[in-house]
Structure 1
Amino acid sequence: MDLKNKKILIEGIGGIGGIIASRLLAVGYDCTLITGNKEITSQIQSSGIIEHLENDKQKIVFPQNVYTTLSELDETMKFDFALLAMKAESVVEAAKSTIPYLFSHGFVVTLQNGIVEDLIVKEIDDGRLISAVMAFGATMIQLGQYKQTSPGSIFIGELHGELSTRLTQLGEILHEVLPVSLSENINGVLWNKLAINATAKALGAISGQTWGEMLDTKPKRTLFLKIYAEVVNASKANNVKLEKITVNPLLLYLPVNAGFFTRFKKDIFLRMAARKYKDIKSSSLQSLLRGRKTEIDYLNGFVISESEKHGLKAPFNKILLEMVKEIENGKREIDPKNIDEIIQKLVV
């Protein structure tokens, strides 16, 4: 089968969606885009999708079909699958609304930060859903212009773990974007990414700092490890086996009863990570700076709810959630002192 005969719908042409669309269109895939934003639609229709590459080079592709909303599509249009790349708060309704535009064998693919799959399968059959983890960074630097900001790969998996034919085909298609891993435990991959996102995205959002800046002292690194541990504890309570994305996810897990040597090792691992990703800024911070809501409810909020289901407490995630909400509502400023405040309250 020629996979380039597949009809692909991409919804949400922000950083991740823009990079995926750019690279699939460049090699000849039939992609229809739903931007969710009239200005982005207009810009792409007039100037194409511009991807910024290394050495100040650019790649420009001109998609034939670019719309702002699903409702603009002809009702006879059908697709083999839809990549859902919008923010987490919009994905459930998007999945539900997309089903009528799919062939009977069609399915949606979730690309969100956080874990949204349980919410989606309340609205659509779980056989019409594949989960994906975007283990790389990307941003829209101007309307219709995109750049990959960090190296990485893509993980995809069926909810029940089977290595199906459709999963293999999807992997071959997405390999045009970045290397792809087929997972038999996609929930473990999702929880691994959640552990990093709930920690790093939230700390970056409240402080305005890069990885390197927000982890430049031992108390800050200890805070990071404690937040991360709450996520891992929630995953353990849910009987989730965490899967490796780049490194063993337990390298940064600090047990409550950890001794001096274990704490020393974890601090060293985190210092190495901070050095490697020192210039990376939180996408949640970028949302706040643009005056937009973050995905905090699907990150730290999810950790809190899952912890409480099993009688666990998550005080670090709770205070992060509260601080981000205060920033969203204009009641708190983005400031490195916010991290110091948490350290004084909960770490010291």
Structure 2
Amino acid sequence: MLTSESPTAVIGAGAIGGITAALMAKAGRNVELVCKHSQTTDRALYPGLRLRGVCGEHEVRMQAVTNIGELSSPKDIVFLATKANDCLTAARQLAPFLTDDGVVVSLQNGISEDALGEILGRGRVIGCVVGWGATMHEPGELEMTSEGEFVLGNIDAQPDERLPIIKSFLEFARPTRISDNIMGELYSKLIVNSCINSLGAISGWPLGQLLKSWRVRSIFIAQMREAMAVAAAMKLKVEPGGGGKLDYYRFVKGNGPLAILKRHLYVKAIGTKYARIKSSSLQSLQRGRPTEVDYLNGYIVEKGKAFGVATPVNEAIVRMIKQIEEGSRRITPDNIAELPLA
């Protein structure tokens, strides 16, 4: 049974995982951080992770190890904050370190809950949306860049007495809300993330430059409409996005000139507001690392195939990003011209 004293771990000491773990430790929770790199482990042990930004300025020393196999004890609660493409390997390594009642809370971008459930058992996996932003300037130097909340829930939409305890841990970092439709919350975030990340990755452009183009906005909108068609086939209710301001059902409704114009104006406004945002997938590619596309656009494509919904735009994007990862395609705005509009 989970309690406020449950032994806890955070796997992944990047911006989200590091800040979450440090603020839990600062509040006196029994939390151990798995850092992956020894430099970060040493920094967490002494003098501590240094936090700044929205969360205030803190230097927090805490228990830390470099590998999952070095955890000091079995854990009741594990917050999995690795990159999405590392989470399944981490889950396999983690399984022996979970107590009989232990749970894993996924803090990934995209949707990895289904795949984690296949490894750990669905009953052990709790879904979580991270609705705030952070960046790691260097190992152990972390900044919370924007406000927001955690949204927590049972992935099968069942009543779950564990959620209030998990919520109490997360609230040391950010306000936390329990949802009875966490998969719809996750999918809502996935839709926008899949558009922003993928188009930035294949073009090399920041968001503001991307969304000045009518063609790019048309592709952005086509991705969203495919995603919503897949959600309808899955009988998944998609929660509002953009802090509750974006009703996806209203957004995709209608094919007349006025409906099309309204969609373009909304997407163009996103580009204006977040003009300097650089796709995290683009940053991964520029570092020679794989992207999280399998858990973003790839999830839409996979579910589309499973439910008989065509997703030609998202399929083309996934294929293009895989080619960039393999080195057979360059990152260039010319890639945009090869994408279908619908």
Q: TM-score, normalised by structure 1?
A: 0.90
Provide the secondary structure at the position in 1 that maps to 2:177: strand
Residues 1:305 and 2:302 aligned together = yes
| Partner residue in 1 for 2:187 | 191
| Partner residue in 2 for 1:259 | 256
Provide the secondary structure at the position in 2 that maps to 1:123: helix
| Partner residue in 1 for 2:59 | 60
| Partner residue in 2 for 1:102 | 98
Task: Give the deviation of 1:251 after TM superposition.
Answer: 6.2
Residues 1:314 and 2:311 aligned together = yes
Task: Give the deviation of 1:148 after TM superposition.
Answer: 2.1
Task: Give the deviation of 1:151 after TM superposition.
Answer: 2.9
| Partner residue in 1 for 2:176 | 180
Q: Match for 2:266: what amino acid? A: F
Matches within 5 A, 1:1-348: 4-53=4-53, 58-63=57-62, 65-74=63-72, 77-245=73-241, 246=243, 247-250=245-248, 253-255=251-253, 258-339=255-336, 341-342=337-338, 345-347=339-341
Matched-pair identity in %: 32
Give, in whole Å, the separation in 2 of the partners of 1:307 and 1:334.
26
Give, in whole Å, the separation in 2 of the partners of 1:147 and 1:221.
31
Q: Match for 1:175: what amino acid? A: E
Q: Deviations over 1:5-57 (max 9, x none)?
A: 232100011121112112222222221011122332233334421113269x7
Give, in whole Å, the separation in 1 of the partners of 2:147 and 2:333.
27
Q: Match for 2:192: what amino acid? A: I
Instruction: Tell whether the 8 Å contact from 2:32 to 2:64 is kept in structure 1 after alignment.
Output: yes
Q: Match for 2:169: what amino acid? A: I
Give, in whole Å, the separation in 2 of the partners of 1:8 and 1:295.
26
Instruction: Tell whether the 8 Å contact from 2:51 to 2:142 is kept in structure 1 after alignment.
Output: yes
Alignment root-mean-square deviation, CA: 2.4
Q: Match for 1:29: what amino acid? A: R
Q: Deviations over 1:117-159 (max 9, x none)?
A: 2222222232212111112222211111111233321111012
Q: Deviations over 1:247-267 (max 9, x none)?
A: 234167435x61111111111
Instruction: Give the direction of change, closer, same or farther, for the CA distance of 1:201–1:218 in structure 2 (3 Å limit).
Output: same
Provide the secondary structure at the position in 2 that maps to 1:152: coil
What residue ranges of structure 1 are gaps of 5+ in the alignment? Answer: none
Q: Match for 2:302: what amino acid? A: S
Instruction: Give the direction of change, closer, same or farther, for the CA distance of 1:125–1:310 in structure 2 (3 Å limit).
Output: closer
Instruction: Tell whether the 8 Å contact from 1:7 to 1:30 is kept in structure 2 after alignment.
Output: yes
Instruction: Tell whether the 8 Å contact from 1:86 to 1:112 is kept in structure 2 after alignment.
Output: yes
Instruction: Give the direction of change, closer, same or farther, for the CA distance of 1:291–1:149 in structure 2 (3 Å limit).
Output: farther
Task: Give the deviation of 1:163 after TM superposition.
Answer: 4.2
Q: TM-score, normalised by structure 2?
A: 0.91
Give, in whole Å, the separation in 1 of the partners of 2:51 and 2:316.
38
Task: Give the deviation of 1:174 after TM superposition.
Answer: 0.9
